[in-house]
Amino acid sequence: MRKQIGILAVTLALILALGALAAPAQADDFYREKSEVDSMMTKLGRGVANVLTGWLEIPHQIGTSIRETDPVSGTFIGLFRGAAWTVARTATGVFEVVTFPFPLPESYKPIIQPPYIVKAMWGEPMPIISDRNNNAWEGMETPGTPPYR
């Protein structure tokens, strides 16, 4: 019994010593360029995100079309544009999920721009609270803050 405890203690000490030696090597990984495995995982994540969020192209395109035209025309134009972009973004996501182990296109670069629809939607004013010139409607500002733009 004592022999087994001694072997366990030595094994544990060796594992801890090896872990302490490996820690500086892991810190260097932060400063290295992205490896091929990182690029593959980025492509897989981008594909999954586009499959799950491709439908967000519809409200995004409706909002964009409303700002470019008027609310009625923009809704219909944006609906059709959004449906087309939804199919394109979702199909691109499926392609990226299926082909993530292969560098297609070269260096695992994104096929569609912007690579994620959510990033394209952030920072844009909502069409409900701004006109097509991106001026906040009167009364919609929060007291003590600049108008929403």
pLDDT in tens, 5-27: 777 777 766 666 555 555 554 55
Q: Is the pLDDT of residue 57 over 70?
A: yes
**Segment among 47-51, 69-73, 119-123, 143-147 with least mean pLDDT:** 143-147
DSSP line for the chain: -HHHHHHHHHHHHHHHHHHHHHHHHHHHHTTSPPPHHHHHHHHHHHHHHHHHHGGGHHHHHHHHHHHHS-HHHHHHHHHHHHHHHHHHHHHHHHHHHHTTTS--SGGG--SSSSS-HHHHHTTPPPTTSB-TT-PBPTT-SPTTSPPP-
The terminus-to-terminus CA distance of the chain in angstroms comes to: 73
Q: Is the pLDDT of residue 37 over 80?
A: yes
More confident residue, 89 or 136: 89
Is 58 a domain residue? Answer: yes
For residue 126, the enclosing domain spans: 36-137
Is 148 a domain residue? Answer: no
Q: Given its phi and psi angles, is residue 122 left (phi above 0), alpha (psi -120 to 50 degrees) or beta? A: beta
Of all residues in the chain, what percent carry a pLDDT higher than 70? 64
Is 63 a domain residue? Answer: yes
Is 149 a domain residue? Answer: no
- The pLDDT value given to residue 17: 58
In this prediction the pTM is 0.59
pLDDT digits (tens, 9 = 90+) for 92-118: 999 999 999 998 888 889 999 888 887
Which DSSP category does 132 fall into? Answer: T
Q: Is the pLDDT of residue 36 over 80?
A: yes
Is 95 a domain residue? Answer: yes
Of all residues in the chain, what percent carry a pLDDT higher than 90? 33
Is 7 a domain residue? Answer: no
Is 13 a domain residue? Answer: no
Is 46 a domain residue? Answer: yes
Q: Give the total number of structural domains in the chain.
A: 1
